[in-house]
Structures are given as structure tokens and as C-alpha cells.
Structure 1
Amino acid sequence: MIENILYSYNKPNGEFLWLYFDKEEEGAKKLKGLEGLPKFDSGSTVRLVNYGGKLMVLWDQNVPASESEEEKMIWCAEISLDKRKNDEIWGKVEWFEAVLTVPKAYQFVCAIAATV
């Protein structure tokens, strides 16, 4: 949830959505933009978190077999959001990179942003 808007990732379609709720209707619209963000593997776990008003996306990806079949990589992307006049929200990928190597048997439970 960022500024009273709920964001989600639709795994079957590979799309990011934003959900709207008002007195008369509710629904979901596609988050536009996101050029440069890689496509996620069908088996990837994807989590979204509010990071100071930006959308942080965390996902896992198998390490190529030539490197290690026992590990996965955790990737992170920072996406700034822009609300436009015609009821659209656009995302701009500010950066993304692999941030952690974990055993293949790990489970991605949740993601939260913490400030210290």
C-alpha cells in the first residue's frame, strides 16, 4: 500500500497492477512503464513493499546451472511512481540488481521495509 493505493503482481500475466476502490466501483489497472525490468521466471516468488513512497520489488531466480544448482539469487528493484491526469500510474525502474544468494531450499515469506 502506497498513498492509499494497493499494488500487486499478477503472476499468470506477469503484470503489475494497482487496485482502486471508491464509492461507486472498484477494480484493477495495469501499472504502466517499467521499461528495463526483467521478466520473472514462472517459478519466481515476487514480493512488493512500500519503501518511502517508492515500490520495491523483490524476487528470486535460480542461479544458472553452470554456476550452482544449490542456490538462488534474490533480486531487488526500486520503482518510482507517477500519477498522471488520465487515471494512470506509471512506474520508472530506478535500479535493479541481485542483492543476496540463498540456498535453493529457502522460502520467501514476506517483505517489509525497515528504517534504522
Structure 2
Amino acid sequence: MNDIEILSWSPDGRYQVQATPWEAGHSHWLLPPHIIDTQTSDRVFGFEDPRWSADLSTWLSPIRVELKLRKYPGHRAPLGITVIIECLLRTAEYGDGTHIELARLESTLEGMLDRLG
């Protein structure tokens, strides 16, 4: 299965959360999310490690999307991690409201998982 799935659209249709599903284990499908600006075809955000998977994407406004994420196999954060991505500013909010640049998001989340053990 190599087809891109659209997980959600921003309310105004400018941004799209999409994923290319892949089977990490027997019946363990992952949906590594990518956010695309449909006006420019630019990738706003996407994980380098395909083991990150989006359980849910909820648009809070036309430019802000909340992602509920897990990293396979999921034992370090079984309930997942929630982040809010600000597509226009290319920033993310997580935890207690900390804001970072999207370029640092994946390494920050990896650090959070490492601290969980």
C-alpha cells in the first residue's frame, strides 16, 4: 500500500495533513503525517523517522492543527503525544505551552521519549 491518504484539510482548504500508510508489523499500520501547503505545494512539516504515526488530526483554526502522535512501537508514551502545529509561522506548541520551530520538533519529541525511558 503506497497511496497517500488525506487525514484532514484545514477549514479553508489551504493546508492538508496526509500520510503514506505502511505496515510496521502484523496488522500494525502507521500513518507518518506530513502537512502540505496546497497553494504552494510546499511541505510545512513531516517526520524523517517513519515510525511516527498520527492517530488524529484536528484543525483548531485555518492555520493551526492539533496532532495526536505515537512512535512505534509505542511503549514509551502509550497514550501518545499531542502537539499543535502553527502552519503559517512554522512553529509547534507542546506540553505546557512551549513553542519551538518546526525544524526542531522531531528532535524535541525524541528527547521527550528518551526521558520517558
TM range (shorter): 0.3 to 0.5
Q: TM-score, normalised by structure 1?
A: 0.43
Q: TM-score, normalised by structure 2?
A: 0.43
Which structure has the higher relative contact order (CA within 8 Å, separation 6+)?
Answer: 1
